[in-house]
Amino acid sequence: MSDLLERVAGAPITWGVDESPGWGYLMGRDRVLTEMADAGLTATELGPDGFLPTDPGELREYVAGYDMSVIGGFVPALLYRPGEIESELEYVRRASRQLAATGSKVLVLGPSSHNPGYDTRFDMSEDEWPIFLANLQRLERIAGEAGLQTALHPHWSMAIEDGQDVERLLEASDVGLCLDTGHLFVAGTDPVSIARLAPERVLHVHLKDADAALAEQVRTGEVPFRQAVIDGLFSPLGAGAVDIEGVIRTLERGGFRGWYVLEQDVSLSAEPAPGSGPMADAIESVAYLRRLAATL
């Protein structure tokens, strides 16, 4: 059997924990880590800045209390606006030190746009692209000095969003990728095509399944992204329209041995009843991966 399940981690956003203003009800970290462990996960990403302890020693001790480790973190950075770049890179420097101190090997870069939240699509101009790429190089050096690889995360409404953006990025830089199956799908890109395009550039994977009808409504602007998340845009693995199996088979055949992270965006209105809500979905996703691992 494949060692796939030994490389499956969780992310706090799967439990509704997001730093966006007004995103939704935020569950406490004790319950989130308990439910991750109960779902069979042995590692987590950091989540929003400050959700888990920021002191490296305290952080290691805290996650070890749940028999877990930290394997990365989503670090947003606005790279195409010169006036803001120094403060953005200082945050990246601090996050890199924190991640490296936990034993993480990857910094997951969120290529922010200047728009708040995730509801407004954005395309960089021809003047903004070279600024972005130059500052991306600076960011990679900062992460590299901390012993980390940078995995840029194409993300709905961010500066790098769809397959066209990814292709241009791969041609113009040597940055690695965090392949997020759901965000690529919502943006109209088959994530399997990205896995085939540059398997050697994929350093980290976020696994999301998605409802095809809701994804189309987000894509056309009929429904804002956050509202679609509330309506159930992202589903347990195997329950939606994304070819999760195709992505994993393609990457595994190409030699990928990094982490697959259950990262299914959720927005909660209240504390879920014990055993329900995000935990139930995570257990269903792990069961899907267990069945798939048996065939690899």
Tell me, what's the pLDDT at 4? 94
**195 CB neighbour count, 10 Å cutoff:** 27
Question: What integer pLDDT is reported at residue 1 of this predicted model?
Answer: 60
Which residues, in sequence order, are bridge partners of residue 25? Answer: 268
Distances (CA, A) of 227 to 93, 105, 219: 33, 34, 13
* Nearest residue to 109 via CA among 141, 69, 140: 140
For residue 129, the one-letter residue type is W
In the prediction, which pLDDT does 145 show? 98
Angle between helices 278-293 and 29-38 (to 10 degrees): 30
Question: What pLDDT is attached to residue 264?
Answer: 92
Give residue 19's identity as a one-letter amino acid code. E
Q: Which residues share a beta bridge with 178?
A: 204
The gap between the terminal CA atoms of the chain, to the nearest Å, is: 7
User: In angstroms, rounded to a whole number, what is the distance separating the alpha carbons of residues 148 and 98?
Assistant: 11
Residues 219, 192 contacting (CB under 8 angstroms): no
Residues ≥6 apart with Cβ < 8 Å to 233: 182, 186, 210, 211, 214, 215, 218, 225, 265
pLDDT tens by residue, the chain, 296 residues: 689 999 999 999 999 998 777 889 999 999 999 999 999 999 999 998 889 998 888 998 999 999 999 999 999 999 999 999 999 999 999 999 989 998 999 999 999 999 887 888 999 999 999 999 999 999 999 999 999 999 999 999 999 999 999 999 999 999 999 999 999 999 999 999 999 999 999 999 999 999 999 999 999 999 999 999 999 999 999 999 999 999 999 999 999 999 999 999 999 999 999 888 999 999 999 999 999 999 99
User: pTM for this structure?
Assistant: 0.95
C-alpha–C-alpha distance, residues 171 and 174, integer Å: 8
Tokens coding 82: 């010169």
Backbone angles phi, psi at 88, to 5 degrees: -65, -45
Query: Helix and strand tally (H, E) in the chain?
Result: 11, 11
pLDDT, position 119: 86
Confidence (pLDDT) at 87: 96
What's the CA gap between 283 and 234, in Å, rounded? 15
**Is residue 208 a contact partner of residue 182, using CB atoms and an 8 Å limit?**
yes
